[in-house]
Structure 1
Amino acid sequence: MPVLDAAWQEWLSTNAARGCAMGSMIDAMVQAGFAVDAAQQAVHNAFGSSVAKVAKVANVADTAAAPTSAASAAEAALPQTAPQAYRYDDAPVARGNTIHAYDREVQVLMRCERPQVIVFANVLSPEECGEMIERSRHRLKRSTTVNPATGQEDVIRNRTSEGIWYQRGEDAFIERIDRRIASLMNWPVENGEGLQILHYGPTGEYQPHFDYFPPDQPGSAVHAARGGQRVATLVIYLNDVPDGGETIFPEAGLSVAAQQGGAVYFRYMNGQRQLDPLTLHGGAPVLAGDKWIMTKWMRERAYG
């Protein structure tokens, strides 16, 4: 049975503050392996004394029924609170059409306010792009995604790519790139995850998804316990893709073509720790050639 550790406590307090339904939280904990009564007590404690009447309703549910019966009773008794609309505050990225990013001048091609998306050119030189590809070519493994229930890394059909992770600052070349990216994103370098290189062959794609860890999924607590929530992403294109392979934002009607050395930045957590659903994004199928990208994810706190 799972332990109600600091990661789970953070998950509980975050979802209670967001006004998530008690029933869905209880269900999530039960699916993760908690006993029903333990899950109910933990969720009730997270919401505080104002939900005492919900506990009474849950206690009269048929104990021989499936675990979701008590959860559904609790959810029905709790007045539902609509989640607050995402509030757009100022993104940390510097203003202007050209940004000095550590050791390089980077051009801004486009800014979008809702969602907060910025398209850059000249983030990496052609020589740097080529070096990253050659460093990675023979070390690729099938890409994984985070299992929403357990937090483990799973291989799924929706993500048809190969990848490799680099430790942050593992050598002088990687350290320089890490510092340039941190400067461009205007976020502490120590808050960044290691660089990930991904390769997509013909027809390769990554169907729409979120980069942040959904707070209502218990597996997210495993990852958020180390460095907190993800706050923003930078995807850098290491080669030109003749056709397809765009980074798409279907809820916003945006599409960014893969051009060597260019990048797309998007931010999905504001200063109030709200998460922006408009940052749903994916990698469109590669229709000609192949696609190499490098991804940097930034966290709330130091990641290490």
Structure 2
Amino acid sequence: MEARLHTKITPDWHRWIGESLAAGHAPADLLGIMKQNRFDEWAARDAIAEALFGGAAPRQPAPEPATFSSRLEDGHVLHVGDRPIRVLVRVSRPTIAVLDDVLDPVECDQLRALAATRLARSEVVGPGTGIGVVQDIRTSDGANFGRSENELIARIDARAAAVMRMAEDHGEGLQVMRYGVGAQYVPHFDFFPPDDPGSRSHLKNGGQRVSTLIMYLNDVEAGGETVFPRIDFSYVPRMGQAVYFEYTAPDGSLDPLSLHGGAPVIRGEKWILTKWMRERAFPG
């Protein structure tokens, strides 16, 4: 009989993860070693993410509680101006919704073609500095777009803002990401950690991020799921659909359950389009 996978990470393993990361070892290498030692993959990913991103989100009262209340429209259909968008799935905590018909196939094709001309290795916000850096926790290529820089981007910016029920000037510029075979994004938070000195410049410029809309530009042959490991939720990418989520608990604190990631692509490739919203107007 095959031995059961370990789902509990012991203190010794947590210490080993922290020491290995501090010594410069890649998160993917740590994950491989833990899998060899019969650890459940997502339990291992969660532990590595805790070491990378400081564990559970700091619980501090939101300065403007109304800003952090759930915004998504009630009902089975979202009315966003240029099209009706169906709600397929809702999760109450963290606030998550799977949405259908957010983009049509022509828009998906156009966005992939437009992004292909400016792809570069994706960056993450460096802990302690707030500066964008390349790290192997995120192995995609990305392309950034200014708000409303052309007719297509303007249309998607307006639609995303309507879905997220925020003013367009609260939105960061759209970002397309392409993940090839083996590429992934280890579980992480989209908000800026309030206690990290590197977050200060970001929080001064538009305030905290409050919600994310990930739109999928193609079907993925295998792998590439968007996962929320702390609630055991996984979404399989499908062209034209989107996953919407927020980062706050009912008491207004930043919610550690919003930890999420992109599983490795096994076959084919994954293209996504991401929109982040801020609590205040953000110079786009």
The alpha-carbon distance between structure 1 residues 84 and 300, as it changes in their structure 2 partners (threshold 3 A), is closer
Q: Which has the higher contact order (CA 8 A, sep 6+)?
A: 2
SS in 1 for 2:117: helix
Structure 2 counterpart of 1:278, from 253, 257, 261: 257
Alignment of 1:1-304 (within 5 A): 83=59, 90-269=69-248, 273-304=252-283
Letter matched to residue 139 of structure 2 = T
Q: 2:61–2:252: 8 Å Cα contact kept in structure 1?
A: no
The alpha-carbon distance between structure 1 residues 242 and 269, as it changes in their structure 2 partners (threshold 3 A), is same
Q: 2:171–2:278: 8 Å Cα contact kept in structure 1?
A: yes
SS in 1 for 2:214: strand
SS in 2 for 1:176: helix
SS in 1 for 2:281: coil
Letter matched to residue 261 of structure 2 = G
Q: CA–CA distance in 2 between the matches of 1:293 and 1:161?
A: 10
Q: CA–CA distance in 2 between the matches of 1:83 and 1:281?
A: 18
SS in 2 for 1:173: helix
Gaps of 5+ in 1: 1-81
The alpha-carbon distance between structure 1 residues 203 and 302, as it changes in their structure 2 partners (threshold 3 A), is same
TM-aligned CA deviation for residue 273 of structure 1: 5.0
TM-aligned CA deviation for residue 138 of structure 1: 2.2
The alpha-carbon distance between structure 1 residues 217 and 84, as it changes in their structure 2 partners (threshold 3 A), is closer
Letter matched to residue 222 of structure 2 = D
Q: CA–CA distance in 2 between the matches of 1:113 and 1:286?
A: 28
Gaps of 5+ in 2: 1-57
The alpha-carbon distance between structure 1 residues 117 and 182, as it changes in their structure 2 partners (threshold 3 A), is same
The alpha-carbon distance between structure 1 residues 142 and 241, as it changes in their structure 2 partners (threshold 3 A), is same
Deviations 1:23-48 (A, max 9, x none): xxxxxxxxxxxxxxxxxxxxxxxxxx
Q: CA–CA distance in 2 between the matches of 1:191 and 1:270?
A: 21
**Identity of matched residues, %:** 48
Q: CA–CA distance in 2 between the matches of 1:243 and 1:234?
A: 22
TM-aligned CA deviation for residue 269 of structure 1: 3.4
Q: CA–CA distance in 1 between the matches of 2:85 and 2:246?
A: 18
Query: How big is the alpha-carbon RMSD for the aligned residues of Structure 1 and Structure 2?
Result: 2.0
